[in-house]
Amino acid sequence: MNLRLSLPLILFLIIVPQSIQGSIFKTFSNTLSPKSPPYSFVFPLSGNVFPLGYYSVSLKIGNPPKDFTFDIDTGSDLTWVQCDAPCSGCSVRTELQYKPKSNTVPCSDPICSALHWPQKPECPNPKDQCDYEVEYADQGSSMGALVVDQFSLKLLDGSSFVPRLAFGCGYDQYFHSAHPPPATVGVLGLGKGKISILTQLVSAGLTRNVLGHCLSSKGGGFLFFGDNVIPSTGVSWTTLVSPMYNNHYTTGPAELLYNGKQTGLSGLKFIFDSGSSYTYFNSKTYQAIVNLIGNDLKGKPLKDVKEDKTLAICWKGAKPLKSVLELKNLFKTLTVNFKNGRTNSQLQIPPESYLIVSKTGNVCLGILNGSEVGLQDSNVIGDISMQGTMVIYDNEKQQLGWVSADCDKLPK
């Protein structure tokens, strides 16, 4: 189970001055492509909510290009890969790790200052490497140095593009024992910070500052940069809010409905985080929803089962289940009702988007108490509640959108 949301105190608060385009980004001008920018990029995804707990993308880095798999994470900014420098605490074999080739970013480079803003990087010698450290809400962490290398990216039309991008070479990783490390080699940071891969591409004028993903309930899906794959109709939108010192994709205020009825839960803000396997509500909201579901199940053929530790709350039916859909009629839809001035937009979370079937055939609640894992008053919409939906993060218009979609088909 992943919770890749960057902790607020460690979150990379990035403002990159235009001068960076003269350092890291100058290498773009030599790259040839069959048409003019802005481009759209589409990446197939692997993974699932359960049992894996993450969705991943494979990217080719270096020359010759080598495949690396990344956990996709809209809850953090920095992209990093486990690095043979050598590596402490790495979860993958040495031959799967990235091997740096004298390509570290010096601490005097503006992108290093941006990485550490509002603090300044320790830089006694301008030629010293640019160090980083990131911590996540699941208590995992990565420490390393910033490097630059070429990425082989596929455009929507099938042609290739090879920009040089800055990312983390992680040579010291920590994974909390309660959460086994994923089989991925690193994290693809898709937050709003200037160090993110998308923002680097945008700063070079190569794509729109828009990204999105479509996570399939069957496993897999796709990730995209740019706006060419967004449907022209049917998309619901709500405003992104920008709390101070926060690069998360935060929406609200909103109210939570249960079975279409008001719950008294209002004024809520929600962070959309593809790095979180499950959805998290603050303690008050979580307890209210658990009570509503519990009251609804009274007299129904489901019983609490304490011995199943898959998630905090699980129920046992008359016989082992194979699919959430077998019990869909026993549970009700949750609705996040966003108030956008005079209009409302609603994100429907049906039972199959907040329940899983455990390995023993029980049904478990994929909504967890965020206050118990250090999220304090935050509410997080995780992968489980974004399945079967194209979710669009539009940084240009500062809005977040969603529309039901077939996530098993790559857009053309």
* Catalytically active residues, by annotation: 73, 273
Pairing outcome for strands 236-241 and 250-258: antiparallel
Q: How large is the C-alpha radius of gyration of the chain? A: 21
Q: Which of 61, 73, 57, 133 is nearest to 99 (CA)?
A: 61
User: Both tokens of residue 311?
Assistant: 């998630």
Q: What angle (nearest 5°) sits at the alpha carbon of residue 330, between those of residues 326 and 334?
A: 110
- For residue 178, count CB atoms less than 10 angstroms from its CB and return exposed for 0-12, middle for 13-18, buried for 19 or more: exposed
Q: What share of the chain is helix, strand, coil (3-state, %, to 5)?
A: 15, 40, 45
- What's the number of CA atoms in the CB half-sphere (13 Å) around residue 8? 10
Distance CA 20, CA 37 (A): 20
> Which amino acid type is present at position 382?
G
Distance CA 385, CA 24 (A): 37
Q: Which of 331, 250, 335 is nearest to 290 (CA)?
A: 331
- For residue 218, count CB atoms less than 10 angstroms from its CB and return exposed for 0-12, middle for 13-18, buried for 19 or more: exposed
The string over 287-310, giving b where at least 16 C-beta atoms fall within 10 Å of a residue's C-beta and e elsewhere, is ebbbebbeeebeeeebeebeebeb
CA distances to 101, 106, 112, 147 from 125, in Å: 20, 9, 13, 17
Distance CA 140, CA 55 (A): 17
Distance CA 121, CA 131 (A): 8
What residues are paired with 381 via a beta bridge? Answer: 272
> Which amino acid type is present at position 203?
S
Report DSSP letters for 331-390, one per residue: S--EEEEEEETTEEEEEEE-GGGTEEE-TTS-EEE-EEEGGGGT-TT-EEE-GGGGBTEE
Asked if residues 314 and 308 have their Cβ atoms less than 8 Å apart, the reply is yes
